[in-house]
Amino acid sequence: MMPRQVAAIPHIPVLIGAGACVFLGRFWLFGFLYLLPLGVMAAGYGFRAAWVCLALAAAGNGLWSAAAAVFSPYPGEQVIGGIVHFALTAGAFTWMMAPSFTDAGEARGRYSPARIPGVYRFVIASCAASLLILPLIASLRQSTAFNGFIRTQAEALSALYTTSAGADVVKQSLLEQYLTPDFIIDTLIVSALRGGVMASCMAFFFVNRQLALALVWVFRRRRRGGTGAGEALPDSRGEMRNFAPADFHVPSGFIWVLSFSLLAVLAGKIGGIAPLEIVAWNGMVICGILYLAQGGGIAAYFIVRANLSPFMRLALNFLLFLLIVSPGINAVLLGCLILLGIAENWAPFRTPKLKGPSSTPGM
């Protein structure tokens, strides 16, 4: 078999993407979008452009950080840690978006990480990013300036809740006794370790991925002057062909991960095994987010099938947005979507029926 021709790297888009990645990473207002250029490179120009863009962005960020460190009071270890964190997090995202190493190697039958399904790459990359944040949290926890800032915010929050108790002496006394700055800081750390960091990383990667796919689809549609329907984005397995939530399905094995994680949380809580409980909570958060996406896909599927008018569809989407941002109601709505996503393991809500065995062996 003749090797496939390796596509040339688009130098100007790669340079622009690398510069945008470094700039967004330094611009705090839009810092959460610094992975977006890498996603655009992967979805719009292929994996070789994405990996070259990553290398240039990592080098550019390193040079910028080293130059800025000369005029900043931050210690060298913190500067190096920031450079490494930027490069590794961007690398995990790039691997998620563009897993193959070389077209030629794949054509010759060599092993390629592209054989790992996209949802697994998403979970693995999110786990890697979460592990990278933990040392950063530990270093910040030991920072006097950071502790002072957190303590100031915690004291303000504690005073706010204590004042809200009003004339209720008993409630005010309990709040003053238990809602202390140390309690708030410990609660934040416990929440971060038990799925808070994981949920943030998954949302971070998901938002950048979806925006990248949407931008590539829109610009390709305008450039070709067509509708954009049926256009395939460059991916070795076609996994990025359609980014509509109505098409998302969680692999069947995750129902077992959710079940064992729930049992492990109970076992860790009863036995006082904190590491087991932390791992299990993160497993539950991963499954919960994936099944939330599947539940949202089911809802989107029925909205599309309803053949509503554009106005009614817009009104319905606006209503769903209001429900999601409404405190209290959003928790109920998100919980229902998670349960709906879990239920599809046994009841195929979307047609045509999925091929393959049931999600639960023996069913």
Interval 279-317: pLDDT, tens: 999 999 999 999 998 998 888 888 878 777 777 877 887
Res 303: pLDDT: 80
pLDDT band at 164 (very low <50, low <70, confident <90, very high): low
Mean pLDDT of the chain: 78
pLDDT at 9 (0 to 100):
77
Note whether 36 and 211 are within 8 A (CB).
yes
Rounded alpha-carbon distances, angstroms, from residue 355 to 18, 243, 257, 287, 351: 41, 20, 21, 22, 11
**Measured distance CA(198)–CA(195) in Å, rounded:** 5
- What confidence category does residue 133 fall into, taking pLDDT thresholds of 50, 70 and 90? confident
113-128: average pLDDT = 84
- pLDDT recorded at residue 247: 78
The residues, any chain, with a CB within 8 Å of residue 291's CB and separated by 6 or more, are: 250, 254, 258, 338, 341, 342
Q: pTM to 2 decimals?
A: 0.78
Check residue 103 and give its pLDDT.
41
CA–CA distance, 130 with 19 (Å, rounded to integer): 25
pLDDT tens-digit readout, 212-244:
988 988 887 766 555 444 344 444 334 444 445
Given a cut of 80, whether residue 34 has pLDDT beyond it is: yes
Q: How far apart are CA 193 and CA 188, in angstroms?
A: 9
- Contact residues for 8 (Cβ-Cβ < 8 A; gap 6+): none
Q: Which of 121-130, 189-198, 344-353 reaches the highest mean pLDDT?
A: 121-130
Q: Is the pLDDT of residue 162 over 80?
A: no
Q: How far is the CA of 111 from the CAs of 114, 296, 302, in angstroms?
A: 9, 34, 39
Instruction: Write the CA distances from 63 to 50, 83, 120, integer angstroms.
Output: 20, 9, 33
Contact 20, 37 (CB under 8 A): yes
Does the structure show a pLDDT above 60 at 324?
A: yes
Lowest-confidence range among 46-50, 125-129, 220-224, 309-313? Answer: 220-224
Question: pLDDT value at position 107?
Answer: 38
Check: CB of residue 97 under 8 Å from CB of residue 39: yes
Q: What is the pLDDT of residue 291?
A: 93
